[in-house]
Amino acid sequence: MATEIKVGLAGFGNVGKGTYDILERNHSLIRQRAGAPISVKRVTVRNVDRVKLLVDEDVIVTNDWHDLVNDPEVNVVVEAMGGIEPAKSLILAAIDAGKHVVTANKALLAEHGNEIFSAAQAKGVNVAFEAAVAGSIPIVKALREGLAANRVSSIAGIINGTCNFILSTMRDTGRSFDDVLKEAQRLGYAEADPTFDIEGTDSAHKLMLLSAIAFGVPVDMSKVHIEGITHLEAKDIKFAEELGYRIKLLGITKYTDYGIELRVHPALVPTRRLLANVEGAMNAVVVKGDAAESSLYYGKGAGSEPTGSAVVADLIDIARTAEVAVSERPRMPTTTHNPKAKSFADFGDTVCSYYLRIPVEDKPGVLAEIARILADNKISIESLIQKEAPLEDASTEIILLTHSTREADIQRAIRTMQQLANVRGAIVLLRKEELQ
Amino acid sequence: MATEIKVGLAGFGNVGKGTYDILERNHSLIRQRAGAPISVKRVTVRNVDRVKLLVDEDVIVTNDWHDLVNDPEVNVVVEAMGGIEPAKSLILAAIDAGKHVVTANKALLAEHGNEIFSAAQAKGVNVAFEAAVAGSIPIVKALREGLAANRVSSIAGIINGTCNFILSTMRDTGRSFDDVLKEAQRLGYAEADPTFDIEGTDSAHKLMLLSAIAFGVPVDMSKVHIEGITHLEAKDIKFAEELGYRIKLLGITKYTDYGIELRVHPALVPTRRLLANVEGAMNAVVVKGDAAESSLYYGKGAGSEPTGSAVVADLIDIARTAEVAVSERPRMPTTTHNPKAKSFADFGDTVCSYYLRIPVEDKPGVLAEIARILADNKISIESLIQKEAPLEDASTEIILLTHSTREADIQRAIRTMQQLANVRGAIVLLRKEELQ
């Protein structure tokens, strides 16, 4: 028999309210699919009075999260508070009390997942987190179950809607980053303090979880190379377009001979690839496996009900399998899973192809100097645009694409080029992902 | 404990060999993920000698499918024969013997699914069929589990790679259907007898299964409106492109006030939609739900290992849950699921917007006649192109897009227009899907 679920819900913001609303509206449909009823018994929030007006009168609303842990009828805690504390204490206390946990908290899991998953495994409870990565998209389930026959070789995703909205709008309008960021804030696509999104931290948290699932590694945020989009210039978006690429902020993790790559950075994606055509605040993840080959998952990465959809899917899975032995449940990424897990790669060992924009004096011989430095570092050029019209101060810009090369080699070449008397400013480097 | 799976594999063509190869190559990884080993114990094929060379020597190869059913150690039968018989007899016999079944056979399930699923439910065994729809894409799991919180309102998919390859190539090259079909046959994208694919039958089978899962209805192929791509002309692809659309063969099922729509036909999709950018032999499915909103699933819809990937994912799910009560297992679409299931819609009640190409005499007043007929049928025009240059015989063509209207109304209008003296040939009608 499926297990009736009485939810203790912590937090009634975006995700908490979305989860509650779906459970109310689709109650009978969810009961039918889960094989047992799922309802919210308790909510804990800071502002009790506000939330009492938004929920059924038989839902108990208090302002102390311990109430969820102490209620023996609550068998699943949904953590929708966000942030590290008190979310972490709540989750560990819920696990300790033998309750299953569902959370959308990517920052917490990416930073403290090892401790949380180990505690859950020791207690034989689930910590489910479909909502933590790419909102409504069932990508955690796709990786763990749908693609379970595959040895995954790489994952590349647009997993931050704020950044994708900004980049799509910069391309469509030719406007600057700062200008579009302000619009995104006005429209509610970016927060008042957008640092977490635009610096790439949020994408890195989600990427860390995807990598942990796909490759069975413990989470370790110190291994993620992170670059955001704050330094992107409108002209690089334009030049990329001329070369047949769109710039997207990607989270990329690959299983390679030299270790597992983990990196978040803006990347040139060929215009004909589906991923290049993901517009606005949408999310998409491309997975490559040895049997399924390439597949892509696309949808809303944020929002109240899209995220709630993923929380409720986890609740339905728990209702179906709560009484099943832990070994048969969908696997959790923990340190105990894969003792032979590959280690993370040094970022310098990453193999990529590159876009360089080099501001130079418009003099004969400049291109020869640059070409020589690249050759000395065994970097070969795939294509080159020397912008024809020199700028007003007699400087111009060389734009080139390289073939595949090691990150350490391109960085060394850039340091050397930067010393040239004819190079007039900072060289811009962007990476290219063919996603073949 | 998870259950060790000993597979009886019927058929060793494309799908059978892909399944076998994945189980061999990724054996230890699959064992870890399933919680128990999964291996092929027996294979039945027509040509025993050919297959003996391709499998391990401890696999028993015979030419009688009854051997799979009669072996008490075989606990899951993988049906990879295709066709209706003997596949149907094998599946029913395996169910009767208490064995689980995994199949990629969409034609069989779309035609005889009610009988098969009812038998499985009565016996408490699974009939899993992830591989039957869209190959490697875990769309069955996404609908049943990932999106289980949602009331699905519509599904629209490119679910036949042969047709999508032909349409993509027609657009890229401007060549005719017949010409591109021959190329597709040379390249192995189309079979020697391509009827099932190009007439839309294969898409209709897959659509029927998607609709059954999403809406809990019994399968009934007689309710699917099916149009293939054999009559598509290169010029309609070109005109659609000029209007900002690409033509794709879509399978569409919608839950509406007047019943469940089920239709397969070429459709104009706005160029900026992701679905319009699915190229070559790839598959993609867009699902709309009330909570998750729009999501899309993309990948290889055919091929040995991509299809095998889905078969093996089903085997892993069975290993994890074989000892679990049937009620907790992923739901099967059967007549017993949803006694209040909505009935299917009459095709005439479908609401769509339309593309019309009307060959006319290049005379004053023709457009007025056509506009009047549309107005009489309460059809309003969204945009119109009268091709400027008259053809050599003083005829020309009017191309127009309508706003939303009922199928029965547009058909009545076309019948009336077709009577006009100034209309010189058959009016071409195509449907438009905005996928908003």
Contact A330/A324 with Cβ under 8 angstroms?
no
| C-alpha closest to that of A90 among A122, A119, A132 | A119
Kindly list the residues from chain B whose CB atom is less than 8 angstroms away from the CB atom of residue A152: none
Mutant choice from B33, B158, B285, B328 vs A, greatest count of A C-beta within 10 A: B328
Counted across chains A and B, CB pairs separated by less than 8 A come out at: 197
Region B379-396: mean pLDDT is: 79
Please judge whether B293 and A303 are an interchain contact, meaning their C-beta atoms are less than 8 angstroms apart: yes
Please judge whether B303 and A316 are an interchain contact, meaning their C-beta atoms are less than 8 angstroms apart: no
Q: List A396's β-bridge partners, or say none.
A: A360
Please state, as a whole number, how many other Cβ atoms lie within 10 Å of the Cβ of residue A147.
Answer: 26
Q: Where are the domains of chain B?
A: 5-136+304-328, 139-300, 349-432
Which amino acid does the sequence have at A160? N
Distance (Å, whole) CA A198 – CA A97: 38
The number of CA neighbours under 13 Å toward the Cβ of B75 is 15
Environment class of B153 (CB within 10 Å of its CB; exposed 0-12, middle 13-18, buried 19+): middle
Kindly list the residues from chain B whose CB atom is less than 8 angstroms away from the CB atom of residue A320: 328-329
pLDDT at B165 over 60: yes
Q: How close A7 comes to chain B (CA, Å)?
A: 15
Distance (Å, whole) CA A269 – CA A273: 7
Please judge whether A291 and B272 are an interchain contact, meaning their C-beta atoms are less than 8 angstroms apart: no
* Helix H or strand E segment including A20: helix A14-25
Distance (Å, whole) CA B112 – CA B97: 19
Choose among A291, A305, A316: nearest Cβ to B291: A305
Region B365-380: mean pLDDT is: 94
Please judge whether B305 and A292 are an interchain contact, meaning their C-beta atoms are less than 8 angstroms apart: yes
pLDDT at B330 over 60: no
Kindly list the residues from chain A whose CB atom is less than 8 angstroms away from the CB atom of residue B2: 327-328
By C-alpha distance, the chain B residue nearest A135 is B292
Phi and psi at residue A382, to the nearest 5°: -90, -45
| C-alpha closest to that of B182 among B192, B195, B168 | B192
CATH fold of A5-136+304-328: Rossmann fold (3.40.50)
| C-alpha closest to that of B270 among B107, B371, B401 | B401
Query: What would the pLDDT profile of B73-103 be if each residue is shown by its tens digit?
Result: 999 999 999 999 999 999 999 999 999 999 9
| C-alpha closest to that of A358 among A384, A392, A389, A377 | A384
Choose among A291, A297, A327: nearest Cβ to B297: A297
Phi and psi at residue B107, to the nearest 5°: -60, -45
Please judge whether B277 and A278 are an interchain contact, meaning their C-beta atoms are less than 8 angstroms apart: no
Q: How close A246 comes to chain B (CA, Å)?
A: 14
* Helix H or strand E segment including A89: helix A87-96
Please judge whether A309 and B289 are an interchain contact, meaning their C-beta atoms are less than 8 angstroms apart: yes
The helix/strand/coil state of A37 is coil
Question: Token digits for B115?
Answer: 């009988």
Region B104-129: mean pLDDT is: 95
Choose among A137, A149, A311: nearest Cβ to B312: A149
Please judge whether A151 and B313 are an interchain contact, meaning their C-beta atoms are less than 8 angstroms apart: no
Contact B383/B402 with Cβ under 8 angstroms?
no
Percent of chain A residues topping a pLDDT of 90:
85
Question: Token digits for B171?
Answer: 């657009």
The number of CA neighbours under 13 Å toward the Cβ of B34 is 26
Choose among A130, A147, A279: nearest Cβ to B313: A147
Phi and psi at residue B240, to the nearest 5°: -60, -45
Mutant choice from A279, A297, A329 vs B, greatest count of B C-beta within 10 A: A297
Strand pairing class (B293-300; B282-289):
antiparallel
Please judge whether B309 and A320 are an interchain contact, meaning their C-beta atoms are less than 8 angstroms apart: no
Q: Helix/strand/coil (H, E, C) string of chain B? A: CCCCEEEEEECCCHHHHHHHHHHHHCHHHHHHHHCCCEEEEEEECCCHHHHHCCCCCCCEEECCCHHHHHCCCCCEEEECCCCCCCHHHHHHHHHHCCCEEEECCHHHHHHHHHHHHHHHHHHCCCEECHHHCCCCCCHHHHHHHHCCCCCEEEEEEECCHHHHHHHHHHHHHCCCHHHHHHHHHHHCCCCCCCHHHHCCHHHHHHHHHHHHHHHCCCCCHHHCEECCCCCCCHHHHHHHHHCCEEEEEEEEEEEECCEEEEEEEEEEEECCCHHHHCCCCEEEEEEEECCCEEEEEEEECCCHHHHHHHHHHHHHHHHHHCCCCHHHCCCCCCCCCCCCCCCECCHHHCEEEEEEEEEEECCCCHHHHHHHHHHHCCCCEEEEEECCCCCCCCEEEEEEEECCEEHHHHHHHHHHHHCCCCECCCCEEEEECCCC
Question: Token digits for B436?
Answer: 């908003």
Please judge whether A148 and B312 are an interchain contact, meaning their C-beta atoms are less than 8 angstroms apart: yes
Q: Do B349-432 and B5-136+304-328 have the same topology in CATH? A: no
| C-alpha closest to that of B128 among B14, B240, B5 | B5
pLDDT at B13 over 60: yes
Please judge whether B22 and A317 are an interchain contact, meaning their C-beta atoms are less than 8 angstroms apart: no
DSSP-derived secondary structure letter, A195: H
Kindly list the residues from chain A whose CB atom is less than 8 angstroms away from the CB atom of residue B331: 33
Q: Indicate if ipTM > 0.90.
A: yes
CATH fold of A140-300: Dihydrodipicolinate Reductase; domain 2 (3.30.360)
CATH of B349-432, one of 3.30.70.260, 3.40.50.970, 3.40.50.300, 3.40.50.2300: 3.30.70.260
Kindly list the residues from chain A whose CB atom is less than 8 angstroms away from the CB atom of residue B305: 290-293
**Per-residue CA distances from A52 to A44, A47, A59, A82 (Å):** 10, 9, 8, 21
CATH fold of B139-300: Dihydrodipicolinate Reductase; domain 2 (3.30.360)
Kindly list the residues from chain A whose CB atom is less than 8 angstroms away from the CB atom of residue B35: 327-328
Please judge whether B148 and A312 are an interchain contact, meaning their C-beta atoms are less than 8 angstroms apart: yes
Q: How close A412 comes to chain B (CA, Å)?
A: 39
Choose among B2, B29, B293: nearest Cβ to A300: B293
Distance (Å, whole) CA B74 – CA B76: 6
Choose among B130, B145, B303: nearest Cβ to A313: B145
Averaged confidence pLDDT in chain B: 92
pLDDT at B324 over 70: no
Mutant choice from B3, B286, B320, B329 vs A, greatest count of A C-beta within 10 A: B320
In order along its 436 residues, chain A shows pLDDT tens digits of 688 999 999 999 999 999 999 999 999 999 999 999 999 999 999 999 999 999 999 999 999 999 999 999 999 999 999 999 999 999 999 999 999 999 999 999 999 999 999 999 999 999 999 999 999 999 999 999 999 999 999 999 999 999 999 999 999 999 999 999 999 999 988 988 999 999 999 999 999 999 999 998 999 999 999 999 999 999 999 999 999 999 999 999 999 988 999 999 999 999 999 999 999 999 999 999 999 999 999 999 999 999 999 999 999 999 988 665 554 444 444 434 455 567 888 999 999 999 999 999 888 889 999 999 999 999 999 988 877 666 667 788 999 999 999 999 999 999 999 999 999 999 999 999 987 5
pLDDT at B423 (0 to 100): 94
Q: How close A327 comes to chain B (CA, Å)?
A: 7
Please judge whether A147 and B309 are an interchain contact, meaning their C-beta atoms are less than 8 angstroms apart: yes
Choose among B148, B295, B324: nearest Cβ to A136: B295
Mutant choice from A298, A314, A436 vs B, greatest count of B C-beta within 10 A: A298
pLDDT at B44 over 50: yes
Kindly list the residues from chain A whose CB atom is less than 8 angstroms away from the CB atom of residue B329: 320
Please judge whether A145 and B297 are an interchain contact, meaning their C-beta atoms are less than 8 angstroms apart: no
Choose among B35, B138, B298: nearest Cβ to A147: B138
Averaged confidence pLDDT in chain A: 92
Kindly list the residues from chain B whose CB atom is less than 8 angstroms away from the CB atom of residue A151: 26, 29
Kindly list the residues from chain B whose CB atom is less than 8 angstroms away from the CB atom of residue A141: 138, 141-142, 145-146
pLDDT at A321 (0 to 100): 81
Which amino acid does the sequence have at A308? G
Distance (Å, whole) CA B261 – CA B143: 18
Please judge whether A309 and B294 are an interchain contact, meaning their C-beta atoms are less than 8 angstroms apart: no
Query: What would the pLDDT profile of B171-189 be if each residue is shown by its tens digit?
Result: 999 999 999 999 999 998 8
Mutant choice from B17, B145, B307 vs A, greatest count of A C-beta within 10 A: B145
By C-alpha distance, the chain B residue nearest A323 is B324
Q: How close B368 comes to chain A (CA, Å)?
A: 39
Question: Annotated binding site for NADP(+): which residue ranges of A?
Answer: 10-17
pLDDT at A334 (0 to 100): 42
Choose among A274, A296, A299: nearest Cβ to B292: A299
Catalytic choice (B41, B99, B206, B288): B206
The helix/strand/coil state of A406 is strand
pLDDT at B268 (0 to 100): 97
pLDDT at B395 (0 to 100): 83
Catalytic choice (A41, A88, A141, A206): A206
Please judge whether A295 and B2 are an interchain contact, meaning their C-beta atoms are less than 8 angstroms apart: no
pLDDT at B328 (0 to 100): 44
**Per-residue CA distances from B4 to A281, B7, B40, B58, B73 (Å):** 44, 10, 11, 17, 10
Please judge whether B300 and A292 are an interchain contact, meaning their C-beta atoms are less than 8 angstroms apart: yes
Region B274-282: mean pLDDT is: 95
Query: What would the pLDDT profile of B137-151 be if each residue is shown by its tens digit?
Result: 999 999 999 999 999
Establish whether A238 is a catalytic residue: no
Confidence of residue B336 (pLDDT cuts 50, 70, 90): very low
Q: How close B60 comes to chain A (CA, Å)?
A: 23
Kindly list the residues from chain B whose CB atom is less than 8 angstroms away from the CB atom of residue A298: 274, 295-298
pLDDT at B338 (0 to 100): 55
